[in-house]
Amino acid sequence: MYDIVIRNGLVVDGEGQAGVRADVAIQDGKIVVVGAVSGEARRTIDATGRIVAPGFIDPHTHFDAQLLWDGQARPALEHGVTSVIPGNCSLSLAPLRAADRATVVGMFQQIEEMPAEAFAERFAKWTWEDFAGYCAAIEPDLAINVAPLVGHSVIRLWVMGAESQQRAATPVEIGAMRDLLRQCLRDGAIGLSTSFIDVDAGGRPVPSRFAQFDELDALCQVLGENGGRMLQVVPEFYDADITIARIDQLAELSLKHAIPTTFSPVFDSNATPTSAPRILDRVAEQFARGARVWPQMQTRPIDISFSLLNPSLFLARLPRWVRVLRQPLAQRRAALEDGETRRTMIADCGPDGGEAMFGGLVVRGGDKAPKAYVGRRLGDIARERGEGAAEAVLNISRENDLDVAFLAANGGHHDTARIGPMLANPLVHIGASDGGAHLASFSTYGDTGYLFSEFVRKSGDFTLEQAVKKITADTADIWGLKDRGRLKAGLAADIVVFDADTIARLEERPVFDLPGDGMRYIRSATGVDVVLVNGAVAYANGAYTDARSGAICR
């Protein structure tokens, strides 16, 4: 008797060919039959009128901390995602000495906008220092598969201490980093992440940015020696010329050490319409040489929300705002009551009084937001008040105890007609969801549903089968996840059952599920009926189950 049989669905196996009507039988966490199944099962799932596909794989997340209290990595499963890759952007929670925890937590809070309550409740329970200890801490409660990267910044911090943010490494220190990386790869890390742009809580470059090329080259040699593991990079994505130079550098590392590399994000924007095409052209040139440099693109535009209760990446270009918002809350409130401080902050926004930056925002809400303003464009409100846009942000916030949220909608990808063909490019890797990060500002999920709703059903840039392949087998192959991404006998039973006609991302909603009842915004999905992880039902009919069948993908 089988454990589970999924019957009567259209099986789209992840390899791109047309779907076929078939059953899928599961035993002991593995797929054992794809075809006509006549045997009995302990549980039968009727997939009539539905697609049966491999579980989707999300290659760019920051669930590192969230997995300590939420082994389901919400909302990933409800989007059909069965495997996630955390540890991106040079940051992971191991290897990490106890004395350095506050330093790395500060980096997570700055770069990924994770509130203090996301760490405080679990801080006393961090009993590990090495990578094996971190994996052991999260694995028992996992309902989703996790293939973690180890961060270059924490490797540097472990070896060099505070000097990791001051200077280049010596040959001896590079040797120690190589040894540490080898151990992390043995203990469960799938590869290495690094960053060329990020800063810590004090505005200083993160440790990885102090590495010289010889250090990165030495670490990539270790990746090559261990089966060709992945190098993930955050380049200077705001500048196409610098990004292209990074692509060339990654190509040399890929060719020299026989490793795959990936970088993110790549945005298409009306402000710089030639950037993404130029970047993809250089990627194609390097692939023609034999290099593997995978650019990651999101399917969806980004919605960014912020209030003055917390620092926000939306305001990172305004140094006076950053200085004020980094202060403790009581001092921040006092500073914002000072007229001269507000004048300097407004001056930071340019001669238009912040109209270009803030005028198009919408007042999103917040417990104390004036009801007459919610849902309205800030520029219109500012004119009614006789204020500039930046002044209105400051004054509306001050008048309401800073508890007013502002929304910048549909950033990044401005033209879906332009984006579709880029996403369909076989060299483009769909990713960069940032799940688990930007908990109170970005609504960071929806890539999978948006792929089907916008680029399969609406534009036709993908067939259903091509879209499934893009986020299953293609991703598994890029990352070396050999038993994921396909519906084939003998592979892990990571499976999603969904409605091709309705799968989509829903509007975002606030949820209070962070430790300490902290709020974050998430996007739920529609059209995803059932999600199985290693043969157990983890999500079904709109609800999470008690299954804890996830694993570290070593």
Q: Would you state the pLDDT for residue 161?
A: 97
As a whole number of angstroms, the longest Cα–Cα distance in the chain is 78
For the chain (554 residues), the mean pLDDT of every run of 10, in chain order, is: 98 97 98 95 98 97 89 93 96 94 82 63 74 96 98 98 97 98 98 92 87 98 98 92 97 98 88 90 98 93 76 78 86 94 93 90 79 89 94 94 81 73 95 60 69 94 97 98 97 98 77 56 83 98 96 94
Q: Would you state the pLDDT for residue 510?
A: 56
Q: Would you state the pLDDT for residue 515?
A: 59
What's the CATH code, domain 56-301+412-498?
Answer: 3.20.20.140
**Length of the chain in terms of residues written:** 554
CA gyration radius, the chain: 23
Residue 322 and residue 397: Cα distance in Å, rounded?
Answer: 16
Q: Would you state the pLDDT for residue 243?
A: 96
Tally Cβ neighbours within 10 Å of residue 186.
12
Closest CA to 77 of 396, 536, 533: 533
Residues paired with residue 23 on neighbouring β-strands, in sequence order: 35
Q: Would you state the pLDDT for residue 364?
A: 76
Angle at 198 between CA 522 and CA 524, to 5 degrees: 10
Q: How far is CA 79 from CA 76, 460, 498, 536, in A?
A: 5, 21, 10, 17
Tally Cβ neighbours within 10 Å of residue 45.
23
Where do the structural domains in the chain lie, given as residue ranges? 56-301+412-498, 304-410
Q: What are the strands of the beta sheet with 405-411, ordered from one edge?
A: 302-306, 405-411, 362-365
